[in-house]
Amino acid sequence: MTRLLDVLAVDDEVPALDELTYLLGQHPCVGHVYAVGDASAALRELSEHPLDAIFLDINMPGLSGLELAAVLGNFSHPPAVVFVTAHEDKALAAFEVGATDYLLKPLRIQRLDEAVRRVQTARGPESAPPPDADEVVPVELGGVTRLVRRDSIGWVEAEGDYARLHSSSGSHLVRIPLSALETRWRNLGFQRVHRSYLVSLHLVTGLRTTDGGVLVHVRDNGASPAVELPVSRRQTRELRDRLVRGPMRSYRPGGDE
């Protein structure tokens, strides 16, 4: 059974601390959330409770977040450190003191989820969710139920309360909302790029900017031809963030892949 994470939220601004504490408390992989307003109180909590991670601001009275992280580096078993800050220019300094992740305010739920998963990985297999590479989706075809492997799906298209799976075995309509598949598969290599589309990141070969916006290129997965799908403005930043953390081949529109 996967152990839930015990974490500490640290921020001297009460509204920001309340929001961070609430969001962490709602995360399904987080057990208990402690909350304090400065580094001194954080050190007291760390002396009283074994914690998996500390989510902290950088600018605080007394010890700054960076100074606190440097102190934690001297612990025999330090918690993972995730910075939550409005300062874009402190990322290099944060990773120099061993940060696991660096989140910018205003906090986005998707990035917080990514940070929690990084903490799970840093804490080892006892807190990391088990892989589920063999998940299958049952689909009806001519009165026969077939099982479509998730790893054979290149992209998914919303059709009302249904979703159309574009897989190596063909196109299949299933009675599952796209939002449900987004939640279920986000940690397994899929990314929502538009209100109508969910794509498998390992099949993405590039992005192209046009007058109308950004398009993501999804290569041929064995049955469905290569396609270009629109990326909404609100999803563009996260898509780029996730792609730069993994391999992405460049491509030339109209050329060989």
Q: Which of 150, 181, 151 is nearest to 163 (CA)?
A: 181
Confirm or reject CATH 2.40.50.1020 for domain 136-244, answering yes or no: yes
Provide the whole-model pTM: 0.52
| Integer angstrom CA distances of residue 121 from 110, 128, 213, 245 | 17, 6, 35, 15
Rounded to the nearest integer, the mean pLDDT of the chain is 85
pLDDT band at 104 (very low <50, low <70, confident <90, very high): very high
* Domain boundaries of the chain, sorted by first residue: 5-123, 136-244
Burial class (CB in 10 A: 0-12, 13-18, 19+), 234: exposed
Retrieve residue 169's tokens.
């075995």
- What fold does the segment set 5-123 form as a domain? Rossmann fold (3.40.50)
In whole angstroms, give the CA distance from residue 191 to residue 195. 11
Retrieve residue 245's tokens.
């953390």
Higher pLDDT, 139 or 70: 70
Across the range 162-183, mean pLDDT stands at 87
pLDDT band at 216 (very low <50, low <70, confident <90, very high): very high
